[in-house]
Amino acid sequence: MADNFLEKRLQDYNANASKNGRKQSFSLASLMRKSRSCRGYDASFVVRADQLRRIVAANTLAPSSRNRQALRFRLVLADEACKVLPHVRMGAALPHCKLPLPGTEPNAFIVICATDEPSESLYIDVGISVQSMLLQAAEIGLNALCIGSFDAVAVSRALGLALQPLIIIAVGKGIEKFSLVEISPDESRDYYRKDGVHHVPKLRLDDLIL
């Protein structure tokens, strides 16, 4: 009840703010709803360095195990995107779609590396970092995709990295349509495409709580 009340107040505030020309703010839930894994981008929209910097800046506020802050970020813009693109794999659950479709490839990436040896806590830091950046991208009106399936050696060599890449985020202006589908625990969690819409099955709150 309280959550709905606050959400409503925030919506009213945002509606008034945009009417009055003030900067719009977003609730966490609305940012998370917008923040879908995007595998098709508008090729005419070229991501700028300041946009990638703004996304990476989320890490200056993020928690980190023992506050080590061992993650480092290589920004890849349109001039270098071709060095990363052949080595990343998108949409493994939809092999027949061969994503990204030609002409809809992302033209920017953030390659996450670490100064520390891989460890359990480092990978938790990576997860927190990725989600923080995905939400920041959504806040500035961009779309993104976390990519764990890529050829780390090839990316490292192509970009001349001294550090091993752990994960990659693709960034751009998305052109895909999404739908979140509530499912029961016994239903398939594979995402699927129907009539040009990318459907993402999600478990209900009551099924998540033990």
Q: What is the CA radius of gyration of the chain?
A: 18
Least Cβ distance, residue 63 to ligand FMN (angstroms): 18
Examine residue 169 and tell whether it contacts ligand FMN (CB under 6 A).
no
Could you count the other beta carbons within 10 Å of the beta carbon of residue 45? 14
Residue 2 neighbours by CB under 8 Å, 6+ apart: none
Q: Are 80 and 121 in contact (CB under 8 A)?
A: no
CB-hemisphere CA count at 13 Å for 142?
25
SS3 state at 195: coil
- Beta partners for 71? 114
113 part of the interface to ligand FMN, by CB under 6 A: no
Query: Which residue, 18 or 149, has its beta carbon nearer to ligand FMN?
Result: 149
**87 scored as a contact of ligand FMN (CB under 6 A):** no
Contact 164, 152 (CB under 8 A): yes
Torsion over CA of 8, 27, 104 and 164, rounded to 10 degrees?
-160
Residues 128 and 135: beta-carbon distance below 8 Å: no
Residue 36 touching ligand FMN (CB under 6 A) = yes
- Applying CB under 6 A, the span of 18-26, 33-41, 61-69, 71-79 interacting with ligand FMN comes to 33-41
Per-residue binding string, ligand FMN, 124-163, x by CB under 6 A, is: ---------------------xxxxx--------------
Residue type at position 202: K
Taking the least distance from each CB to ligand FMN, the nearer of 14 and 183 is 183
Which stretch in 48-56, 89-97, 101-109, 115-123 sits in contact with ligand FMN by CB under 6 A?
89-97
Nearer to ligand FMN, 8 or 98 (CB): 98
Interface with ligand FMN, residue 89, by CB under 6 A: yes
Chain contacts with ligand FMN (rule: CB under 6 A) = 36-37, 39, 89-91, 145-149, 191, 200
